[in-house]
């Protein structure tokens, strides 16, 4: 089962501990997280269900390709990392 981890910067706003989840795609894996932590959904996804611009997600160190449908495949031993993009000057 893939593991989903969140950046500490995100945890300043929402409690988001790492979790092992089920799912064959990024979308399925994140759905498991959202079932346990519904507030994360609106923070990470836009109204169409795609990743918000300020969110970066990597699977085993590679950026996800499908930010709109979250269809990137994930395997049982994959590591999914969710980052909050930081901006400012």
- Per-residue pLDDT reduced to its tens digit, 55-88: 999 999 999 999 999 999 999 999 999 998 766 6
The CATH fold of domain 3-84: Ubiquitin-like (UB roll) (3.10.20)
Q: Which CA distances in Å does 25 have to 8, 13, 32, 81?
A: 24, 26, 11, 14
- What predicted TM-score, i.e. pTM, was given to this entire model? 0.90
The pLDDT score that the predictor gives to residue 88 is: 61
Taking phi over 0 as left and psi of -120 to 50 as alpha, with beta for the rest, 36 belongs to alpha
Structure tokens at 53: 């611009």
Q: Rounded to whole angstroms, what are the CA distances from 3 to 19, 48, 51, 82, 88?
A: 6, 24, 18, 11, 30
pLDDT of residue 11 exceeding 80, the answer is no
């Amino acid at each position: 089962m893939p593991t989903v981890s969140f950046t500490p910067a995100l945890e300043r706003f929402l409690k988001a501990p790492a979790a092992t989840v089920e799912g064959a795609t990024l979308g399925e894996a994140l759905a498991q997280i959202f079932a346990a932590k519904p507030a994360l959904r609106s923070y990470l996804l836009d109204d169409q269900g795609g990743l918000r611009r300020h969110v970066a997600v990597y699977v085993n160190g590679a950026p996800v390709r499908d930010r709109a449908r979250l269809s990137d495949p994930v395997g049982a031993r994959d590591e999914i990392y969710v980052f909050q993009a930081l901006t400012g000057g």
